[in-house]
């Protein structure tokens, strides 16, 4: 199978407040977009013990129990005003991690070279001991640690969500087994991601931020990604790739303030696929808050990725 899709219906159980952009319809759009690109669903078993062990590779051991207890108490906010929770939020966050692990299983087992993880809540803002920015567990960092544990390192991580992936950057800040490349609106939430943030110690030069002004379009994004991928190739050769695929830079998105089209996301997919070559690629949903634009953008990105991923 050229493209497998890992998802779980429990991810729809994370209910936010009326008017909140991170809503269950996003999950349906992400799955529908993958179907348009020919994605084949795979079974995702939610093994809570395995998922939470994977979470503890990335997060403080107290984070998951705090989230479980908060969700058991009913609707409220968790760690920040933009993180509403419901009774189903903990199960949704665990299911998102389980889907990420299932995708890694698929590419490591050579069932596919490409996997799409259609989940919510997203993850790239989640810090070691704190949830923020609609994110509870850092799904892409969890997937990276799983790949590294299986000997598939170094890992290349590309994040093109309109918001900087501060949680992912923090996790790998001082490490050279993962290269983190981020294109994002700047200055913008969460405030990090300036070009001079490049990592420290062994990780110096393994973080590359490409901040972009508001209104950036297809041409700007394509040029920025090409530049970032060139820098990555000069620094390391990933044996596996991860993508924090946020589609809130779409021109129709209500939050991003950017001007990327469906075709622009197809080009991002094409470039990442070309850079990956024969290495496996696992892409995970981050942002994207216009359901119809999200559906089309996911399809375009995955089609672009498939054009250049070597079978």
Q: Catalytic site residues?
A: 125
Q: Which helix (H) or strand (E) holds 155?
A: strand 155-159
The answer to whether the CB of 171 falls within 8 A of the CB of 141 is: yes
Q: Which of 206, 200, 203, 204 is nearest to 181 (CA)?
A: 206
CA geometry: angle at 33 spanning 27 and 36, to 5°? 145
Strand ranges in 7-146 using DSSP code E only, listed in sequence order: 40-42, 76-78, 80-85, 114-117
What's the CA gap between 4 and 199, in Å, rounded?
A: 33
Percentage helix, strand, coil for the chain under 3-state DSSP, each rounded to 5: 40, 20, 40
């Amino acid at each position: 199978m050229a493209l497998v899709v890992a998802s779980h219906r429990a991810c729809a159980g994370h209910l936010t407040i009326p008017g909140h952009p991170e809503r269950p319809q996003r999950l349906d759009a992400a799955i529908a977009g993958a179907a348009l690109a020919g994605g084949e669903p795979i079974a995702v078993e939610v093994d809570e013990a395995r998922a939470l062990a994977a979470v503890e590779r990335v997060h403080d051991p107290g984070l998951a129990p705090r989230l479980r207890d908060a969700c058991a108490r009913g609707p409220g906010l968790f760690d920040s005003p933009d993180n509403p929770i419901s009774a189903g939020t903990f199960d949704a966050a665990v299911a998102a991690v389980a889907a990420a692990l299932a995708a890694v299983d698929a590419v490591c087992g050579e069932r596919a070279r490409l996997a799409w993880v259609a989940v919510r809540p997203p993850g790239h803002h989640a810090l070691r001991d704190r949830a923020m920015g609609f994110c509870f567990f850092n799904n892409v960092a969890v997937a990276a640690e799983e790949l590294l544990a299986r000997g598939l390192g170094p890992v290349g991580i590309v994040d093109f969500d309109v918001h900087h992936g501060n949680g992912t950057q923090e996790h790998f800040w001082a490490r050279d087994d993962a290269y983190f490349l981020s294109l994002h609106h700047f200055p913008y939430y969460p405030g990090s991601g300036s070009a001079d943030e490049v990592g420290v110690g062994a990780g110096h030069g393994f973080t590359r931020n490409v901040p972009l002004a508001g209104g950036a379009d297809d041409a700007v994004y394509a040029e920025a990604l090409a530049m970032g991928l060139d820098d990555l190739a000069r620094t390391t050769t990933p044996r596996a790739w991860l993508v924090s695929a946020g589609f809130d830079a779409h021109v129709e998105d209500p939050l991003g303030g950017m001007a990327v089209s469906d075709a622009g996301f197809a080009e991002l997919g094409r470039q990442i696929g070309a850079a990956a070559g024969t290495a496996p690629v696992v892409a995970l949903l981050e942002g994207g808050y216009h359901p119809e634009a999200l559906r089309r953008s996911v399809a375009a990105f995955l089609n672009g990725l498939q054009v250049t991923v070597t079978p």
